């Protein structure tokens, strides 16, 4: 199954990832990775850095003739801001809400930059690149991963039905990936208001996976439950503080008959008229769309900083003020798509074999035949 590590600091020379066990025979081009990297850099409310960085991926290994070979894939994303980066004086005022204080104590650091450079969500550019590979693999099986922003601060989108067309339309506007244009305007006003006060905002986004076969994941062991694996992947994104699948927390407030999706059968397939389970029952996909929501907290670096304690003098000071996003929920949703695509790709390899695309396809087709013949 795909596994990967990332390396690199926010203002270091580059971000690097090595992706192991990616199947052979998949067409891979750097342009597809760049598309996802650019999406991650967008969204209203981002910092000026997003204009300095125009991320671009270079694939250094694991492909030949434009196709993956099954060997480890190395991807490098250079940091253009690196050239502008001067070694500045030590940073000693930890930001509340960041890894600064705990990280400095844990690693025995007296300069918080040594912590924040790696704790920064710049690392998610590398994860987005791996996600682009996973999406390429999933496309071979008609599986797509989309996301949209549901709320920013106290402003919530109102949309009767979420459709892929509406999501694509919202993404074209390149603002907040919200499918309700009226709410999107209010969200922008909310971000402007927060920015004027030197404050920041979080929000909620939703990820939808379409075209997933029934039977990915397993109920047999805790660490094979797909809901658990997807939640961990999303929760591991910087600033994500809540994850829901299907009805999520709302399910706890309803009676069972209003929650569980009744089962129907027609033309050789089982189906549901509702999808409150969000496509997963017992840790296994049930053939419906997978629906995951994530709550992102407000960005911790504030232009009107909060009180903190200097780690050297122990005096009360204001937290370090750095260039930062006011709101990065649309960017986080792109990262969310990436980490979900990686987990679904792994689950596909687990079920259908993971060495070569041809092998996966043969097994997939035979499994679909088996389901049709049930």
Ligand X SMILES: Cc1cc2nc3c(=O)[nH]c(=O)nc-3n(C[C@H](O)[C@H](O)[C@H](O)COP(=O)(O)O)c2cc1C
Please report whether residue 325 would count as binding ligand X according to CB under 6 A.
yes
Write the DSSP assignment of 4-67 as a string of letters. Answer: EEEE--TTSSEEEEEEESPPBS-B--HHHHHHHHHHHH-STT--THHHH----EEEEESEETTE
Residue 5 φ then ψ, to 5°:
-125, 155
The residue within the footprint of ligand X, chosen from 121, 133, 183, 187 (CB under 6 A), is: 121
Binding segment for ligand X (CB under 6 A), chosen from 210-218, 223-231, 245-253, 324-332, is 324-332
SS3 assignment, position 209: strand
Residues 329-358 that bind ligand X (CB under 6 A): 331-332, 335
Binding segment for ligand X (CB under 6 A), chosen from 144-152, 284-292, 308-316, 327-335, is 327-335
Please report whether residue 128 would count as binding ligand X according to CB under 6 A.
no
| CB-nearer residue toward ligand X: 111 or 350 | 111
Q: Is 232 annotated as a binding residue?
A: no
Q: Is 45 annotated as a binding residue?
A: no
Q: Is 341 annotated as a binding residue?
A: no
Q: Which helix (H) or strand (E) holds 189?
A: helix 181-196
Residues 211-270 that bind ligand X (CB under 6 A): 237-239
Please report whether residue 98 would count as binding ligand X according to CB under 6 A.
yes
What would the two tokens of residue 85 be?
């980066």
Question: Which of these, 10, 125, 117, lies nearest to 56 by C-alpha position?
Answer: 125
Please report whether residue 151 would count as binding ligand X according to CB under 6 A.
no
Please report whether residue 300 would count as binding ligand X according to CB under 6 A.
yes
> Can you give 211-271 as a three-state secondary structure string?
CCCCCCECCCCHHHCHHHHHHHHHHCCCCEEEEEECCHHHHHHCCHHHCCCCEEEECCEEE
- Residues annotated in the binding site for NADP(+), as ranges? 40, 46
- Binding stretches for ligand X (CB under 6 A): 47, 97-99, 119-121, 124, 237-239, 297, 299-301, 324-325, 328, 331-332, 335
- Residues annotated in the binding site for FMN, as ranges? 118-120, 238-239, 282, 297-301, 323
């Amino acid at each position: 199954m795909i596994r990967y590590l990332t390396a690199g600091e926010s203002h270091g020379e580059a971000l690097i990832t090595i992706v192991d066990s990616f199947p052979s025979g998949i067409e891979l081009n750097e342009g597809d990775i760049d598309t996802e990297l650019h999406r991650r850099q967008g969204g209203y409310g981002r910092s000026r850095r997003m204009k300095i960085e125009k991320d671009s991926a270079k694939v250094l290994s694991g492909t030949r003739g434009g196709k993956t070979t099954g060997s480890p894939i190395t991807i490098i994303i250079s940091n253009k801001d690196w050239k502008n980066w001067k070694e500045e004086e030590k940073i000693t005022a930890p930001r509340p809400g960041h890894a600064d204080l705990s990280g400095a104590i844990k690693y025995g650091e007296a300069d918080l930059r040594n912590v924040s450079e790696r704790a920064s969500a710049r690392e998610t550019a590398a994860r987005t690149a791996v996600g682009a590979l996973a999406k390429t693999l999933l496309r071979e099986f008609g599986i797509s991963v989309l996301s949209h922003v549901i709320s920013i601060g106290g402003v919530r989108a109102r949309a009767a039905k979420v459709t892929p067309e509406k999501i694509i339309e919202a993404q074209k506007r390149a603002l907040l990936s919200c499918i309700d244009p009226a709410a999107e305007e209010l969200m922008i006003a909310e971000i402007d208001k927060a920015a004027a006060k030197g404050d920041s905002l979080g929000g909620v986004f939703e990820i939808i996976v379409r075209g997933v076969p029934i039977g990915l994941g397993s109920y047999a062991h805790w660490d094979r439950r797909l809901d658990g694996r997807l939640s961990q992947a999303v929760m591991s994104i910087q600033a994500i503080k809540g994850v829901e699948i299907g009805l999520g927390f709302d399910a706890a407030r309803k009676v069972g008959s209003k929650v569980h999706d009744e089962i129907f059968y027609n033309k050789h397939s089982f189906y549901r008229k509702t999808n409150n389970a969000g496509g997963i029952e017992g840790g296994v996909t049930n053939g419906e769309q997978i629906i995951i929501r994530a709550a992102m907290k407000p960005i911790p670096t504030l232009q009107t900083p909060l009180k903190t304690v200097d780690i050297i003098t122990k005096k009360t000071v204001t937290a370090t003020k750095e260039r930062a996003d006011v709101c990065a929920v649309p960017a986080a949703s792109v990262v969310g798509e990436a980490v979900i695509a990686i987990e679904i790709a792994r689950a596909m390899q687990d079920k259908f074999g993971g060495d070569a695309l041809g092998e996966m396809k043969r097994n997939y087709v035979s499994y679909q035949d088996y389901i049709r013949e049930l």
